Chains A and B, each alone.
Chain A
Amino acid sequence: MKTNALETSLPVAFGYIPLGMAFGVLLVGLGYDWWWAPLMGVVIFAGSAQFLAVSLLAAGAGALDAFVATLLLNLRHVFYGLTVLDRYRALGWGRYYAIFGLTDETFSLLAGSPPHAHDRRYVLSVTVLNQSWWVLGCALGALAGGVLPFRTEGLAFSLTALFAVLLVEQLLKSFRPAPLLGALASAGLCLAVLPGKYFLIASISLAALVLVILPVPRGTK
Chain B
Amino acid sequence: MKEPLELIGFILAMAGATVLTRFLPFWLPGKWLDNSFVRTLKEGLPAVILLLLVVYSLKDTPVTAAPWGLPEALALGLVVALHLWKRNALLSIGVGTALYMVLFQTGVLTSVWGL
On A, residues with C-beta under 8 Å from B are 2, 7, 10-11, 14, 30-32, 36, 39-40, 43-46, 49-50, 53, 56-57, 62-64, 66-68, 70-71, 74-83, 85, 88-89, 95, 99-100, 102, 104, 107-108, 111-112, 151, 153-155, 157-171, 174, 176, 179-180, 182-184, 186-187, 191, 196, 199-200, 203-204, 207-208, 211-212, 216, 220
B113 on the A face (CB < 8 A): no
Give me 8 other A-B pairs in contact (C-beta within 8 A), A80-B49, A163-B54, A204-B52 excluded: A46-B18, A67-B16, A71-B21, A81-B23, A99-B26, A157-B72, A157-B96, A167-B50
In angstroms, how far is the closest chain B Cβ from the Cβ of A158? 4
Contact present for A216 and B36 (CB under 8 Å): yes
Query: Number of B residues contacting the other chain (C-beta, 8 Å)?
Result: 67
Contact present for B92 and A161 (CB under 8 Å): yes
Contact present for A161 and B101 (CB under 8 Å): no
Contact present for A160 and B54 (CB under 8 Å): yes
B93 on the A face (CB < 8 A): yes
Contact present for A154 and B79 (CB under 8 Å): no
B1-54 interface with A by 8 A CB criterion: 1-2, 6-7, 9-26, 33, 36-38, 40-54
Contact present for B41 and A79 (CB under 8 Å): yes
Q: Are A196 and B11 also in contact (CB < 8 A) when A81-B25, A157-B100 are? A: no
On B, residues with C-beta under 8 Å from A are 1-2, 6-7, 9-26, 33, 36-38, 40-60, 71-72, 75-76, 79-80, 83-84, 89-90, 92-94, 96-97, 100-101, 103-105
23 A-B pairs whose Cβ atoms sit less than 8 Å apart in the complex:
A14-B97, A45-B18, A57-B2, A63-B9, A104-B53, A111-B45, A154-B71, A154-B103, A161-B97, A161-B100, A163-B50, A164-B80, A167-B51, A167-B54, A168-B80, A169-B89, A170-B50, A171-B47, A176-B44, A179-B47, A191-B55, A204-B48, A212-B40
Q: Are A160 and B76 also in contact (CB < 8 A) when A154-B97, A170-B46 are? A: yes
Contact present for B48 and A71 (CB under 8 Å): no
Cα distance, A57 to B76, chains bound together (Å):
35
Chain A residues positioned under 8 Å from B55 (CB to CB): 184, 187, 191, 203
Contact present for B97 and A158 (CB under 8 Å): yes
Contact present for A160 and B58 (CB under 8 Å): yes
Chain A residues positioned under 8 Å from B7 (CB to CB): 32, 36, 57
The 8 Å CB contact of B10, one of A57, A80, A95, is A57
Contact present for A165 and B79 (CB under 8 Å): yes
Cα distance, A32 to B1, chains bound together (Å):
8
Chain A residues positioned under 8 Å from B104 (CB to CB): 153-154, 157
B16, B44, B83, B96: which has the most chain A beta carbons within 10 Å?
B44
Cα distance, A191 to B57, chains bound together (Å):
12
Closest residue on chain A to residue B46 by CB atoms: A111
Shortest Cβ-Cβ A-B pairs, 6 listed? A81-B25, A70-B17, A154-B101, A154-B104, A63-B13, A167-B50
Cα distance, A212 to B12, chains bound together (Å):
36
